[in-house]
């Protein structure tokens, strides 16, 4: 099936609560084509009709479902993101997560899923539009800019260190032998670089932690 392309960017919003979908749609509809879904099955159906420029996914799912084709349970927005990333045409599409509470674990998981940011809900219209515009812009935060923040903001640097330790513990279990030491080092290095960019994009959210 040929999926149509629209000049106006399409944002696909996933949230179980229709009220939140309506709220976000109202915030974005003057600027983007907004498609709202409340479950993973509906999301897959919409992907056969649209080419979203960005996915806005709620991290919490109260009613898990089983995705037969992927042989996996969908119990969080992170599970949804992982399945989206397996679809070739969405391998690099921007993903923004919404969460009721921004925690170190949430930001860490967002990075691992290839997310480009985390926003606390209900979101501020100004902040939501700013984050989406940032993610859809070809301009990105540089590593140098992020490092400057890390060296001048104690709270920010403490969170970065906490995330790194958490990731190192997880990887050490997987790569704890001498033979896999190089792989361990490469994964940690990649995680650090991705973390810097994502954290800089979410500087405001992290400041609320």
Residue-wise pLDDT tens digits, 150-191 = 566 666 666 666 666 676 777 777 766 766 767 766 776 666
| Confidence at residue 160, expressed as pLDDT on a 0 to 100 scale | 67
3-state secondary structure of 208: coil
Confidence category of residue 95, pLDDT binned at 50, 70, 90:
very high
Q: Is 69 within 8 Å of 47 (Cβ atoms)?
A: no
Q: What is the mean pLDDT of residues 2-20?
A: 80
Confidence category of residue 199, pLDDT binned at 50, 70, 90:
low
The more confident residue out of 123 and 187 is 123
Tell the CATH topology of 10-136.
Rossmann fold (3.40.50)
CA 176-104-120 angle, 5° bins: 150
pTM: 0.68
| CA distances in angstroms from 189 to 46, 83, 86, 161, listed in the order given | 36, 25, 23, 13
| Confidence at residue 196, expressed as pLDDT on a 0 to 100 scale | 61
| Domain edges within the chain | 10-136, 143-206
Classify burial at 57, counting beta carbons within 10 Å of its beta carbon; exposed 0-12, middle 13-18, buried 19 or more: buried
């Amino acid at each position: 099936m040929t999926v149509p392309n629209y000049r106006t960017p399409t944002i696909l919003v996933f949230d179980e609560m229709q009220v939140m979908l309506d709220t976000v749609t109202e915030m974005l509809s003057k600027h983007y084509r907004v498609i709202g879904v409340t479950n993973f099955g509906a999301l897959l159906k919409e992907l056969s009709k649209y080419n979203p420029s960005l996915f806005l996914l709620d991290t919490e799912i109260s009613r898990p479902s089983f995705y037969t084709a992927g042989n996996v349970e969908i119990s969080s927005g992170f599970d949804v993101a992982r399945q989206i990333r397996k679809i070739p045409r969405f391998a690099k599409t921007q993903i923004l997560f919404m969460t009721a509470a921004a925690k170190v674990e949430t930001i860490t998981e967002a990075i691992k899923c290839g997310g480009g940011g985390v926003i606390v809900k209900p979101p501020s219209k100004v902040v939501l539009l700013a984050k989406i515009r940032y993610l859809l812009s070809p301009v990105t935060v540089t590593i140098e800019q992020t490092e400057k923040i890390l060296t001048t903001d104690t709270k920010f640097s403490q969170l970065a260190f906490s995330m790194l330790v958490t990731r190192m513990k997880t990887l050490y279990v997987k790569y704890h032998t001498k033979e896999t030491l190089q792989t361990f080092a490469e994964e940690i290095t990649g995680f650090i670089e991705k973390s810097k960019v994502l954290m800089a994009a979410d500087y405001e959210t992290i400041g609320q932690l």
